[in-house]
Structure 1
Amino acid sequence: MELKDKILKHFEGKVVRKDLTALVKGNNPVPAYVLEYLLGQHCAIDDEEIIKTGVETVRNIIKNNYVHRSDAELVKARIRNSGSYKIIDKINVSLNDTQANMYEADFANLGIRKVPIADQMVLDNPKLLSGGGVWCILTVGYSHADDINMRWLVVDLKPIQVANINLQEYINLRSEFTTDEWLDLLMHSIGLNPEYFNKRDKFIQLSRLIPHVENNYNYIELGPKGTGKSHVFSELSPHGVLVSGGDVSKARLFVNNTGKGAIGLVGYWDVVALDEFEQEKGGKRTDGDLVKIMQNYMANQSFNRGKETYQATASMAFVGNTKHNVPYMLKNSHLFESIPEGYIKGAFLDRMHMYVPGWEVSILKSAVFSTEYGFIVDYLAEILRELRKSDFSTLLDDTIRLDGSLTTRDKTAIRKSFSGLVKLIYPHQDLTEKEVLELLDFSIEGRKRVKDQLYIIDETFRSDPVEFKYTILSSGKEVFPETLENLNYRAEVEVREELNEDNSEARIEKPRLNLEPHEVEIKDNQTGISFKKLFGNYLKGANNITIQDPYIRMYYQFNNLLEFCVMLGNNKEPDQEINLEVVTWNHEEYMSDSIGFFEELVLSVQGLGINLTYKMEQHHDRFIASDNGWKINLGRGLDIFEKIEGRFNVAELDQNRRKCKECHITYLKI
């Protein structure tokens, strides 16, 4: 059964086709969860006629009821003429306790302020008081009486959110999907086409949801512009609020000064995200007291208001742009260099549970947006909110033991990140050991990225270093996860050292390498990898080499084989010839294409001193075997590189610049 059919079978009425959101949105600045709430009511089914009618209905609702700021006066006239009218607008409520002793609403787009609103409406929807504003469908009335101070009134109000969800049903239905299918469903749900993302990319995208599913989770993502860092926090949940990092204050975040010390944003929202969290502009300095209060809240989930101490569960997310590329930061500064100076303090940054590498996320283009079915984001938001009540980190305890050198904050960060990822990907808590370790490695990497920078920023951390490692209880094996940027940076340094040696006029013969059997793990998006680095030393001196790879079929796979031949040609002595046999396969209808490609390759590589032959035989294993005594098992064959994007990309000419696919390569002495 195709994924779309599975989704509609198990979640009909809770999913929507994602391209419809863009179709009805147009230039309207309406959050996705508002539009999908409406689409879910009118076209959450795979029937083109119903969808067509539903889209038209939603368009009419937006046209007739959504308030554009430019049309505010026209809408006010419509309300006045009809006596009352239903609108969609974002409203914020505050208590006027000085004169009227009543709650009053401000309308973001309609532009009217201090409109009386019934106490019961506010009691039923306390988030109206948060200061962040809530999107609502409401009926606004107008009075023509002569003896009143305020002609506008709120007749009826309904926040835009899903009424009821069944968490257990959601958890049970997870078992109907494979892990890859579920990941793809979640990717569709946040509006992205999973075909354009490898598994690590999907983890990075979905990690933006962890603050929505974990209480008091502290998250930061820094990277280039245009990668969609703030989208999840502004569009995909009515329980999160996105504010500009330059506009935050103690009053707005913790103690709201508009209502005699009313609690600020952290008291009302599940997630408070600070956007454009970068260096201050125009000489504006960071409020040191705000940093201290935030630092205390991120550590203790509480803040003081006068003599009182208040608890809150809001997660904090910080998203911003980087100024330099990663190698520059690793060599010359640190990965937090672009955030305001007042926050670059060890005590504050140590509260971060995960630093997501935003530089790994490609700039979003129209092709990567989903046109398939995903959860209505409001439905997903309610599910995630329910899951905040649970802790799934205990799943680690039977599988691994974290190193004793790790601090309590390190362990808490890793466990919270792991718990959040399990809630997102395995809400039914049915994981294999391999899947547990996969999520754990990603969680450790997110925390290690923070700690590595703390060693640079604050010397007090250097005096008590920790070791990011864990022991697998079933085997006793110790694992040392590393951040991908550190691996890539080391690889780039090695490449440059090799180039300098190769270009040196006074070459000194290197001592012969002492090669040993071992295994290499390549991560998704890892760079600094080349055929020369992986295979060159192990194929030195070989005269007869066999490659068995059943998936040399597509044009780019034949190009990989050509690059392998070029590596062999550059790796051997000038007068040496190598017999290279390739064993592969293709479907009968495409066999003639493969043979045609091979015949071209045979002629092309002759000048390199490579005698290429090929066999079409069906085998499962992928390996390189040579007569110098080495066999190299290939997890993915030669197909280890991601697709190269764009027409002009340096990665086309330099394998070291290419992103890799996750795989394992094992070197055996035979």
Structure 2
Amino acid sequence: MMLHFEEKALQYYGEVCVNKGLVRKASIGTTSVPMYVSEWIVSRYLTDGQIDAAARQNMRDFVNKHLPSKDQKEQLKSKLKNGGTLLILDTYSVEVNLRTNEYILKIPCLDENKATIEPYIVELYPLLLNGGVWGVGRLEYQSPDEREHTFGQIRMVDFRPMQAATIDMELFCEQRKYFTLEEWRDLLVSSMGYNPAFYTPEQMMLLLARLVPIVQERVNLIELAPKGTGKSFVYLNLSRHVRLISGGKVTAAVLFHNNATNQSGLLTRFDVVVFDEAQSLSFDNPNEVIGVLKDYLESGSFSRGGKQQNTATSGIVMIANIPLAADGNPRFENLFLDLPEFLRETAFIDRIHGILPGWKLPRIEAESISTHIGFKADFFGDVLHSLRRTAGYEDHIKAYGQITGTNDIRDRNAIIRLATGYLKLLFPDLKPSQEELVNYCLRPAASLRQLVRNQLTIMDPEYKPLYIDVAFTQQ
């Protein structure tokens, strides 16, 4: 039996919704693709909205034929060499080589970084230039030509992107009016891949906090939690505009700008850059990277080695595991005690807008995964990306939100940005009541920032204790 939010989702949003339970049940046999790709495959082969034997076989055939594993790459190259054509589902990306006046195509499943592509494809799908697009590419091989002094190359001659069609954002926002706040929140949580019935209202607001840096420009968050709470799940599976870096060493060239190649870094190409396993994160030439990163967290701009100033709107999310005591709360009052040195510096922490208390969320188990209706992940990810650039929400927070208990500019800016993100998520139609604006936008934002202030007070006597409160301002 469908829940109310599911019935309304199908009634008012129709084909951009999917049964998350069916996607899970389909079990297409690969963990190498994000959730939005799996949903695209399943939605394509459902029979009257259900998975029957024929649909399951078609899905398996599609995956086996068009989603090859890395160990098949030499066989596939051999097929191309012998005159065959490949149709491959992969995340393709394109770079511009100004020296040769060419587009250079990257094909991850073939470990191919110097393929070529028909220029018209790039003109049709410019997102290929922004870090990669999942889609089905038709690949052919061009043999070397001694007379023309050309080498053999793989070439993409056709492409069908796996992405949502053009989104009617006005309609998306308008349809919000048919849902209660609880129904809409359930729909958002289910769209993230979580089962709303498994979580308390407070926990669902923490889950939604993971979306705030995706939907709002230049939001910096750190989530601290034990292992197994699904901290990176959303960032891996929801949006192609998010880039996740898992532990290890990060260079300034990768993150900001490569001066040698004049190529822009991740912060200029993605909406959010996520550092997973931040407890093991390190930087190549840490003094340079951390100095530039602090400037960026503060101003949204950076420069490297005397080169020109760059601006970006990407948010920074850091995810780290921390130990818990027997009562389920953090073992140490100083939450940053076991983290890398740069994450124990108050000047850095103060530039983080909020701490997401992941220790308040339960471990992921079978019942915590959604089996309900939700927005298709590729559609939902593009909605968040579109809302990110939509004006009016921050002005609404500034006009009707009142922050008390602190006059610190960083505190106030952090709360405004976080609250704006919550407003976009929960009230895209910009029609919250006074009580809703305070309780579901301003207060959750203030609580995330309050945790930052509490840590600063613990770590440095220069930061005096304070209690942040919020209210609605009558106009």
TM over 0.5: yes
| Letter of the 1:292 counterpart | G
SS of structure 2 residue aligned to 1:406: coil
Cα distance in 2, alignment partners of residues 304 and 353 from structure 1: 22
288-297 vs 322-331, which deviates more?
Answer: 322-331
Q: CA deviation at 1:146?
A: 5.2
SS of structure 2 residue aligned to 1:371: coil
Contact 1:141–1:152 (CA under 8 A) maintained in structure 2: yes
**Which residue of structure 2 aligns with residue 450 of structure 1?**
452
**Which residue of structure 2 aligns with residue 223 of structure 1?**
225
Q: How does 1:528-607 map to 2 (within 5 A)?
A: none
SS of structure 1 residue aligned to 2:429: coil
Cα distance in 2, alignment partners of residues 182 and 52 from structure 1: 34
Cα distance in 1, alignment partners of residues 197 and 34 from structure 2: 25
Contact 1:161–1:238 (CA under 8 A) maintained in structure 2: no
- Count matched residues: 465
- Asked whether 1:136 is paired with 2:135, we answer yes
Contact 1:220–1:355 (CA under 8 A) maintained in structure 2: yes
**Which residue of structure 2 aligns with residue 507 of structure 1?**
none
Cα distance in 2, alignment partners of residues 165 and 61 from structure 1: 27
CA offset digits 1:617-652 (Å, max 9, x no partner): xxxxxxxxxxxxxxxxxxxxxxxxxxxxxxxxxxxx
Cα distance in 1, alignment partners of residues 166 and 471 from structure 2: 42
**Which residue of structure 2 aligns with residue 337 of structure 1?**
337
Q: CA deviation at 1:411?
A: 0.9
Q: How does 1:11-22 map to 2 (within 5 A)?
A: 11-22=13-24
**Which residue of structure 1 aligns with residue 410 of structure 2?**
409
Counterparts in 2 of 1:216 and 1:46: CA distance versus 1, 3 Å: farther
Counterparts in 2 of 1:125 and 1:314: CA distance versus 1, 3 Å: farther
Structure 2 residue corresponding to 1:28, chosen from 31, 42, 46: 31
Cα distance in 1, alignment partners of residues 126 and 339 from structure 2: 33
**Which residue of structure 2 aligns with residue 47 of structure 1?**
49
| Letter of the 1:238 counterpart | R
Cα distance in 2, alignment partners of residues 55 and 286 from structure 1: 50
Contact 1:8–1:46 (CA under 8 A) maintained in structure 2: no
Q: CA deviation at 1:107?
A: 2.1
Q: CA deviation at 1:289?
A: 1.3
CA offset digits 1:585-621 (Å, max 9, x no partner): xxxxxxxxxxxxxxxxxxxxxxxxxxxxxxxxxxxxx
Name the TM-score, length of structure 2 as normaliser: 0.89
**Which residue of structure 2 aligns with residue 298 of structure 1?**
297
SS of structure 2 residue aligned to 1:238: coil
| Letter of the 1:316 counterpart | I
**Which residue of structure 2 aligns with residue 152 of structure 1?**
154
Q: CA deviation at 1:288?
A: 1.7
- Asked whether 1:117 is paired with 2:120, we answer no
| Letter of the 1:278 counterpart | Q
Counterparts in 2 of 1:348 and 1:59: CA distance versus 1, 3 Å: same
**Which residue of structure 2 aligns with residue 374 of structure 1?**
374
**Which residue of structure 1 aligns with residue 245 of structure 2?**
243
Cα distance in 1, alignment partners of residues 470 and 111 from structure 2: 57
% of aligned pairs identical? 30
Q: CA deviation at 1:97?
A: 5.4
**Which residue of structure 1 aligns with residue 200 of structure 2?**
198
Q: How does 1:64-75 map to 2 (within 5 A)?
A: 64-75=65-76
Contact 2:247–2:277 (CA under 8 A) maintained in structure 1: yes
**Which residue of structure 1 aligns with residue 385 of structure 2?**
385
Cα distance in 2, alignment partners of residues 321 and 292 from structure 1: 24
Counterparts in 2 of 1:404 and 1:48: CA distance versus 1, 3 Å: closer
Counterparts in 2 of 1:323 and 1:331: CA distance versus 1, 3 Å: closer
SS of structure 1 residue aligned to 2:230: coil
CA offset digits 1:205-228 (Å, max 9, x no partner): 111111111011111101111111
Q: CA deviation at 1:471?
A: 4.7
Structure 1 residue ranges, 4+ long, deviating more than 6 angstroms after superposition: 326-331
Contact 1:83–1:143 (CA under 8 A) maintained in structure 2: no
SS of structure 2 residue aligned to 1:83: coil
| Letter of the 1:216 counterpart | R
| Letter of the 2:415 counterpart | I
Q: CA deviation at 1:421?
A: 0.8
Could you tell me which runs of 5 or more consecutive residues in structure 1 were left unpaired when the two chains were aligned. 475-670
**Which residue of structure 2 aligns with residue 422 of structure 1?**
423
SS of structure 1 residue aligned to 2:86: strand
| Letter of the 1:30 counterpart | V
SS of structure 1 residue aligned to 2:151: coil
198-207 vs 34-43, which deviates more?
Answer: 34-43
| Letter of the 1:387 counterpart | L
Contact 2:141–2:153 (CA under 8 A) maintained in structure 1: yes
Cα distance in 1, alignment partners of residues 340 and 124 from structure 2: 39
Cα distance in 2, alignment partners of residues 204 and 455 from structure 1: 23
SS of structure 1 residue aligned to 2:417: helix
- Asked whether 1:108 is paired with 2:99, we answer no
Counterparts in 2 of 1:425 and 1:473: CA distance versus 1, 3 Å: closer
CA offset digits 1:512-546 (Å, max 9, x no partner): xxxxxxxxxxxxxxxxxxxxxxxxxxxxxxxxxxx
Cα distance in 1, alignment partners of residues 333 and 7 from structure 2: 50
SS of structure 1 residue aligned to 2:319: strand
Counterparts in 2 of 1:360 and 1:168: CA distance versus 1, 3 Å: same
Could you tell me which runs of 5 or more consecutive residues in structure 2 were left unpaired when the two chains were aligned. none
Cα distance in 2, alignment partners of residues 52 and 35 from structure 1: 18
Q: CA deviation at 1:329?
A: 8.4
Cα distance in 1, alignment partners of residues 14 and 383 from structure 2: 16
- Asked whether 1:289 is paired with 2:288, we answer yes
Cα distance in 1, alignment partners of residues 369 and 328 from structure 2: 31
Structure 1 residue corresponding to 2:41, chosen from 15, 38, 41: 38
| Letter of the 1:111 counterpart | D
Cα distance in 1, alignment partners of residues 123 and 267 from structure 2: 18
**Which residue of structure 1 aligns with residue 308 of structure 2?**
308
RMSD value over aligned CA atoms? 2.7
**Which residue of structure 1 aligns with residue 88 of structure 2?**
87
Cα distance in 1, alignment partners of residues 402 and 383 from structure 2: 30
Contact 1:322–1:338 (CA under 8 A) maintained in structure 2: yes
Counterparts in 2 of 1:442 and 1:138: CA distance versus 1, 3 Å: same
Cα distance in 2, alignment partners of residues 437 and 243 from structure 1: 34
Q: How does 1:172-187 map to 2 (within 5 A)?
A: 172-187=174-189
SS of structure 1 residue aligned to 2:113: coil
Q: CA deviation at 1:74?
A: 2.7
Q: CA deviation at 1:327?
A: 7.7
Q: CA deviation at 1:73?
A: 2.3
- Asked whether 1:270 is paired with 2:271, we answer yes
Counterparts in 2 of 1:425 and 1:400: CA distance versus 1, 3 Å: closer
SS of structure 2 residue aligned to 1:109: helix
Contact 1:207–1:421 (CA under 8 A) maintained in structure 2: yes
